[in-house]
């Protein structure tokens, strides 16, 4: 190790020849064996209108019958449904997850149709990130649910892309490998299909939608990928029905006027899709998901959480420093909040005090007013009493005078009768 470090320091690596077999040439085989025993996982997202042929195409692609129940056209919104299967081909095991967009394109208002899809993809990234951030993580046997390929089913209208298609693809293109396909391609005439394809591609370009680019950097696949790219978006036909063609059975769709063979390259691009998606680029799709899309999600998420690799002076910034910085920021905020609350409290108390004082003043005024009216009333009553007393006095005086007069009159009367009696005598 020291020798190699020294060599690297001097910026030169010496080429040595081995004089006998060592064995590290078996490393690729070791890798293959390990991966094979571990098994693989691949997750496909099918985005497309209800009844556009998603389930049929999946069955046709993997030569099997996956469980699926047709959706109705009256779903209140778009929802995603994932189903996982374990498949085996020779000694290779594949854990396949197919995610379906149920109710896509069925609502009158389609503004939010892309949201559940974006949310689903982000949720799978988040789950992986959480596993990565754990202290005790088990990424080795983690069931990776991140979407590796998104098959976008375009309706075979022969016109152009719908705005729902453009909006959805634009929202998804930084999160997932999009492979656009024209569904039910048996319904478009050959020369129209050619125009339709180039129309779609130019619309994708002019709207800045990034679809999955088949890799051309590795020489074993460069040629096939380059030639296949020309045929995008693949015009596919799905069918699980076997029809006798010549003396062989082949998957096909039978019409009153003829037969469309799914695996005949003159009839449709089904084989091209299968080659590109499964046989040639499955591993690249998995890798791109991890190194490009997941990496982007992870970076944004960690930056959002306040992590950074360097400080403003572009010096390395460790996790510890990030933690301390966040902690200080949090404490500062807490203090600010506390101070705000205290000031608010003081203000409230002052307000209440002023209110109470006002109320007291009012009460005093009311009391004074009452006192005054009471005094006035009392004075009036007193005056009346005085008047009445006077009246009573006057009355008494008059009464005694009258009584006096009456008794004098009686006396005078009795004296007269006495005189009269005496006279008679």
> Would you tell me which residues interact with ligand GTP (CB under 6 A)?
48, 50-56, 68, 70-71, 100, 184, 186-187, 237-238, 253
For residue 233, whether the previous peptide bond is cis, meaning omega lies within 30 degrees of 0, is yes
CB of 241 to Mg ion, least distance (A): 16
* Site track for Mg ion across 9-48, x = CB under 5 A: ----------------------------------------
Contact status: 240 vs Mg ion (CB under 5 A): no
Pure H helices in 39-114: 54-62
Contact status: 261 vs Mg ion (CB under 5 A): no
Contact status: 55 vs Mg ion (CB under 5 A): yes
Give the number of C-alpha atoms closer than 13 A to the C-alpha of residue 127, restricted to the C-beta side: 12
Specify whether the CB–CB gap between 60 and 270 falls below 8 A: yes
Nearer to ligand GTP, 180 or 238 (CB): 238
Specify whether the CB–CB gap between 82 and 136 falls below 8 A: no
Residue nearest to ligand GTP (CB): 53
Nearer to ligand GTP, 59 or 284 (CB): 59
Determine which residue in the list 40, 68, 231, 317 makes contact with Mg ion, applying CB under 5 A. Answer: 68
Strand partners, 96: 42, 85
Nearer to ligand GTP, 184 or 293 (CB): 184
Q: Give every CB contact of residue 221 below 8 A, 6+ residues apart in sequence.
A: 214, 215, 280, 281
Pure H helices in 97-233: 115-133, 163-172, 190-206, 219-229
CB of 336 to ligand GTP, least distance (A): 53
Q: Find which of ligand GTP, Mg ion, none residue 280 binds, CB within 5 to 8 Å per kind.
A: none
Torsion angle, CA of 219/224/227/231, rounded to 10 degrees? Answer: -140
Phi, psi of 141 (to 5 degrees): -110, 25
CB of 261 to ligand GTP, least distance (A): 12
Q: Which stretch binds Mg ion (CB under 5 A): 63-71, 137-145, 324-332, 367-375?
A: 63-71
Nearer to ligand GTP, 165 or 186 (CB): 186
């Amino acid at each position: 190790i020291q020798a190699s470090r020294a060599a690297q320091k001097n910026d030169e690596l010496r080429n040595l020849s081995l004089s006998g077999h060592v064995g590290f040439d078996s490393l690729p085989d070791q890798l293959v064996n390990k991966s094979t025993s571990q098994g693989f996982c691949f997750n496909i997202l099918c985005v497309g209108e209800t009844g556009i042929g998603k389930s049929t195409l999946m069955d046709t692609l993997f030569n099997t019958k996956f469980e699926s129940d047709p959706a109705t056209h009256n779903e209140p919104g778009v929802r995603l449904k994932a189903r996982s299967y374990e498949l085996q081909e020779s000694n290779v095991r594949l854990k396949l997850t197919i995610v379906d967009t149920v109710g896509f394109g069925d609502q009158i208002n389609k503004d939010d149709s892309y949201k559940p899809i974006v949310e689903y993809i982000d949720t799978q990234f988040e789950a992986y990130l959480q596993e990565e951030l754990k202290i005790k993580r088990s990424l080795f046997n983690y069931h990776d649910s991140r979407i590796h390929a998104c098959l976008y089913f375009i309706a075979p209208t022969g016109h152009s892309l719908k705005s729902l298609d453009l909006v959805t693809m634009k929202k998804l293109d930084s999160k997932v490998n999009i492979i656009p396909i024209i569904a039910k391609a048996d319904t478009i005439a050959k020369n129209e299909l050619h125009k339709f394809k180039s129309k779609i591609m130019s619309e994708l370009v002019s709207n800045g939608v990034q679809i999955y680019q088949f890799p051309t950097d590795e020489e074993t696949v460069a040629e096939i990928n380059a030639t296949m790219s020309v045929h995008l978006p693949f015009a596919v036909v799905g069918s699980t029905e076997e029809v006798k063609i010549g003396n062989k059975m082949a998957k096909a769709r039978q019409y009153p006027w003829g037969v469309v063979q799914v695996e005949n390259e003159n009839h449709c691009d089904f084989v091209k899709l299968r080659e590109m998606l499964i046989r040639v680029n499955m591993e690249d799709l998995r890798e791109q998901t991890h190194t490009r899309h997941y990496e982007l999600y992870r970076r944004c998420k960690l930056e959002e959480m306040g992590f950074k690799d360097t400080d403003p002076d572009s010096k390395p910034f460790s996790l510890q420093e990030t933690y301390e910085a966040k902690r200080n920021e949090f404490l500062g905020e807490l203090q600010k909040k506390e101070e705000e609350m205290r000031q608010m409290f003081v203000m409230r108390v002052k307000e209440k005090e002023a209110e109470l004082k006002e109320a007291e003043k009012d009460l005093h005024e009311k009391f004074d007013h009452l006192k005054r009216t009471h005094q006035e009333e009392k004075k009036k009553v007193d005056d009346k009493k005085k008047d009445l007393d006077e009246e009573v006095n006057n009355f008494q005086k008059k009464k005694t005078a009258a009584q006096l007069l009456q008794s004098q009159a009686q006396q005078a009367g009795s004296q007269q009768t006495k005189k009269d009696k005496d006279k008679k005598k």
